[in-house]
Chain A
């Protein structure tokens, strides 16, 4: 089976053609989304979830730490955004910063507990912590509004000197999310292919050898977890804006499992762009299959099971293999395959 390290990042170019393609597709989405029978809100949802999934894959795919409770940090971000708007000030930047900061603190504290662990016990502890957050969100009624969640979260306008852009229209909000998404993609691209990212990949391949090579593995694991929690928190803040509410459902173990499924189906284990495919496939499946049959999750689940059995490298892995069949051997060698 191929892994992340087998596909060369091609990061020698100054202008990254893949990032550029992504940028063009992302910014033109409101134009072509209605043309292919979709609606504007789904673009918003997909963009937010891509931020979440990409940040998650830094931990899951690159570092090989299997968190099954990541929804908690998305939820923490969403609540932080909502609480900031309700109790401190109606401010866009402040709200998003609060979301990221809250998720970073929560993620950091949890990571302190987790990072001595590996494998199954790591996954288990992430589930336990995820449940603690989810449970608290339901029970701390005075803070979070219980099962109903925080309602009527405003969408604060973008405040620039001499200019204020209202975000109550979904398309305008989409453009804000698109800019943040691109920044996140760029940041993660740099991070994953930096020396820091290399160490994370080394930890995935062999934690003990990485430690013997002189790296303080514990610190890298804490950092990876905190960073990915921050991206989840950012996505959570944007999600609270999109939904104009924050509720505990996104923190449930079910939802945390869905993000794992999305990342795996897309091929996050073998390619940087895997989570992007995974999120898009999930939402398209939800809308198209969901329009045909009420039991679409049954079919999505079956597809997932078959994929784990026969194609665990996901869509990105399959694309890679198809590409390998048509590219000249000399080019392949150049790509480092």
Chain B
């Protein structure tokens, strides 16, 4: 049991990170009933934007670029942490505008459109940033190793897990305690009624999609120092996010969080016994759960089932 503790801890950390990834995804699925397969690409895009904001690659040799590179890494990192997700959010909004012709049709078309968009974004990343593995700079304060429970952990994992937990709580408070959160949740529940009450559904959808995309970008910046940054990192990310939503139940915020932790634990504990198969465990978990509970752990009826 004692030997297992680091693995359980590792799994929970991973679970929190998965929760951060799934956050934007579940928001978009819940409100718009669109499976955003481009979520992973927006994740990658956020990280690449951060890469450029920190390293100012194209203009590094100009006066402005040199001035920026002279600033402390902490300042550059924080700037990237704020602005890169906003840029990813903008791309998300463009995607939402493209999605409009598919509203009211079978959910398949939204799925297909975002799949195409994922392909386009990934190829665009290759054109702009190249195909190679990139390295995102992080401040030294959250870099390096620390000893915990007698095992060496990277400090960054602690930072990432804490950041994810804060982001999850922040989004939860936003959804539960603010007026805008109430409108979004109402939109997920009954969009016709929200329209009848005088709220602009078009704007609401644009905002929610942008917000979800920004969360994806944020997750990208936090995750890539652990997972590495490649153009196809998006596909490695969207599949777990997808599974977590199905496991937790479409449209359930709590379900997504619980499912993330479960998946993290499953991967972490499998890693203790058969590390090569650790990523496989989440698929098995999904197949087992969906084999018995058609709508996942906390799922409600949804138009996506038809």
Which residues of A are at the interface with B, using a C-beta cutoff of 8 A?
A: 1, 66, 113, 116-121, 123-125, 127-129, 131-132, 135-136, 139, 253-254, 257, 260-261, 264, 295, 297-298, 300-302, 304-305, 308-310, 312
Query: In the assembled complex, which residues on chain B have CB atoms less than 8 Å from the CB atom of A129?
Result: 283, 287
CB-based nearest B residue for A135: B280
Residue of A131, A253, A298, A305 near B127 (CB, 8 A) is A298
Once A119-B304, A305-B117, A312-B105 are accepted as A-B contacts, the answer to whether A132 and B290 lie under 8 Å apart by CB is: no
A120/B304 contact (C-beta < 8 A), A139-B277, A298-B124, A309-B113 known:
yes
Q: A119 and B112 in contact (CB under 8 A), knowing A124-B243, A253-B235?
A: no
Give CA–CA (A260, B108) in the complex, Å.
Answer: 11
- Shortest Cβ distance from residue B231 to the other chain A in the assembled complex, whole angstroms: 11
The verdict on B82 contacting chain A, using a C-beta distance below 8 Å, is no
- Are B287 and A132 in contact, CB atoms less than 8 angstroms apart? yes
Residues of B within 8 A of A (CB): 35, 98, 101-102, 105, 107-109, 111-113, 115-117, 119-120, 123-124, 126-127, 235, 239, 242-243, 246, 250, 276-277, 279-280, 283-284, 286-287, 290-291, 294-295, 302, 304-306
Taking CB as reference atom, which chain A residue is nearest B123?
A298
Contact yes or no, B115 A127, CB < 8 A:
no
B119 engages A119 (CB within 8 Å): no
Instruction: Quote the shortest CB–CB distance from B93 to chain A (angstroms).
Output: 16
B-side contacts of A264, CB under 8 Å? 112
- How would you classify the secondary structure of chain A's contact residues: helix, strand, loop or mixed? helix
Q: Chain B's interface: helix, strand, loop or mixed, by majority?
A: helix
Query: Nearest residue in A to B120 (C-beta to C-beta)?
Result: A301
In the assembled complex, the CB of A61 is this many whole angstroms from the nearest CB of chain B, namely: 11
Whether A305 pairs with B242 at a CB distance below 8 angstroms is no
A128 to chain B, nearest CB (A): 5
Identify B116's interface contact among A127, A132, A304, CB under 8 A. Answer: A304
Q: Tell me the bound Cα distance from A98 to B137 in angstroms.
A: 52
Q: Are B119 and A127 in contact (CB under 8 A)?
A: no
CA distance A131 to B295 in the complex (A): 20
| Chain A residues with CB below 8 A from B102, complex form | 308-309
